[in-house]
Amino acid sequence: MRVGIDARLLAYRQGGTSVYTRQLLRHLPLAAPKDDFVALTSRKQPRYAEQPAAVHSHPLWTPPHHQLEQWSLPVELAPARLDLLHSVDFIAPTHRPWPAVITVHDLAFLLYPDTMTAESHHYYGQIGRALAAADAIIAVSEATRHDLERLLDVPPERVRVVHHGVADVYGPRPAEEVAAFCNARGLPSTFMLWVGALEPRKNLPCLFRAVASATPSLPEALRTLVIVGVKGWAFEQAQQEFERLGLAAQTILFGDATEDDLAMLYNAAWVFAYPSLYEGFGLPPLEAMACGTPVLSANVSAMPEVLGDAARFFDPQDDQALAALLRELALDEPLRQRLAAAGRARAAGFTWPAAARATLDVYRSVVHRS
């Protein structure tokens, strides 16, 4: 079986779908060493960082989300001699000579249209046609499968749920290594942490208001907030709220971070707060759990499904509910220890080898039918 996996986004983005793509390409050859896996890369980056030797590259001129890719991709892929195409970012070419699997991560563009760019709306607006033409559909959570059924009338039996995993880099680190990392990066020994793309769907104004409200009740050593991620589109509203609340003195904007940086940051944090309005899966809080960080999460979409009873939940529209949880957790060391232990146990149930094996099952069922 020769499978092409659309990896063009790796040249443009590092989070979300790119994490999913890298991890599949890392673990699929280990799960099926007799099969061929081809990374369909961008000419901008013909081989991506950490590309396994067992994975071949087939560079493409067409950029991801390009308006002509429905026509150009089948032409560019003809020499690749694929048995199957996996479009990891929702949309596969409708007219193609080989079967295709698509992964649907979430339906935020339908549920929260104001949190997406016009370009994203145009690209993801093809989802109805892509779903109808797909030979198999992977959803990353039961919540996303339910949204597909509820919003787009996709029969649930057409959708296979394959949860993400947690990369091996995320786990407890020795205290002295964490302390050395914090000292080298000018960070306090512990802090409140948030990780993600700085964009409207992540609901940062809620986090900022909760932190401002909770801060007077927190021990001084626990008052710092660290924000990790790069600015996305329409960040102005969150920035205005940040400035209005006067949080600059207690906030560190870390910027982008490597996986190893993130593992250290999770280990150092006394709490990870995640007020996102909607997530198809939600990797950052699960990564935090794997590192033993207590997690406070919004109680929406896939978050209860993924985090189970190992997190404390709140309404993302209620910043005072999050503030109350921050106060409670800051003053209750035994609670932090219980959440840390429960989080590590919960995260251990999500692995990329298991995700790769489940994805292979989908591939083989499609190729067998074809």
CB-based contact 49:13 (threshold 8 Å) = no
At 310, the amino acid letter reads: A
Cα distance between residue 232 and residue 329, in whole Å: 30
- Model pLDDT for residues 254-303, shown as the tens digit of each residue: 999 999 999 999 999 999 999 999 999 999 999 999 999 999 999 999 99
Question: Which of 216-251 are b and which e, b meaning 16 or more Cβ less than 10 Å from the residue's Cβ?
Answer: eebeeebbbbbbbbeebeebeebeebbeebebeebb
At 80, the amino acid letter reads: A
CB-based contact 251:224 (threshold 8 Å) = yes
- The yes-or-no verdict on residue 207 having pLDDT over 90 is yes
Cα distance between residue 167 and residue 288, in whole Å: 11
3-state helix vs strand vs coil in the chain, percent to 5: 50, 15, 35
Query: What pLDDT was estimated at residue 233?
Result: 66
Query: What pLDDT was estimated at residue 63?
Result: 94
Nearest to 202 by CA among 134, 108, 77: 108
| Averaged confidence pLDDT in the chain | 95
Equal CATH topology for 2-165+351-369 and 175-347: yes
Cα distance between residue 29 and residue 333, in whole Å: 43
pLDDT band at 213 (very low <50, low <70, confident <90, very high): very high
Cα distance between residue 16 and residue 20, in whole Å: 7
In the chain, where are the structural domains located? Answer: 2-165+351-369, 175-347
Handedness of CA 97, 364, 145, 170 (dihedral sign): negative
Cα distance between residue 358 and residue 28, in whole Å: 10
Q: How many CA atoms lie within 13 A of 289 on its CB side?
A: 31
Per DSSP, 130 falls in state H
Grouping H, G, I as helix, E, B as strand and the rest as coil, residue 107 is: coil
CB-based contact 318:290 (threshold 8 Å) = no
Handedness of CA 217, 219, 224, 225 (dihedral sign): negative
Which residues lie closer than 8 Å to 276 by C-beta, 6 or more apart? 196, 201, 202, 203, 282, 298, 300, 303, 316
- Model pLDDT for residues 314-353, shown as the tens digit of each residue: 999 999 999 999 999 999 999 999 999 999 999 999 999 9
- The yes-or-no verdict on residue 244 having pLDDT over 80 is yes
CB-based contact 5:25 (threshold 8 Å) = yes
Candidate ranges 64-73, 117-126, 214-223; pick with highest mean pLDDT: 214-223
CB-based contact 201:229 (threshold 8 Å) = no
Element holding 366 (H helix, E strand): helix 352-369
Cα distance between residue 282 and residue 303, in whole Å: 7
Cα distance between residue 331 and residue 248, in whole Å: 24
Right CATH number for 2-165+351-369 from 3.40.640.10, 1.10.287.1080, 3.40.190.10, 3.40.50.2000?
Answer: 3.40.50.2000
Q: Per CATH, which fold does 175-347 belong to?
A: Rossmann fold (3.40.50)
- The yes-or-no verdict on residue 115 having pLDDT over 90 is no
The neighbour count for residue 325, using CB atoms within 10 Å, is 20
Provide the β-strand partners of residue 102.
87, 137
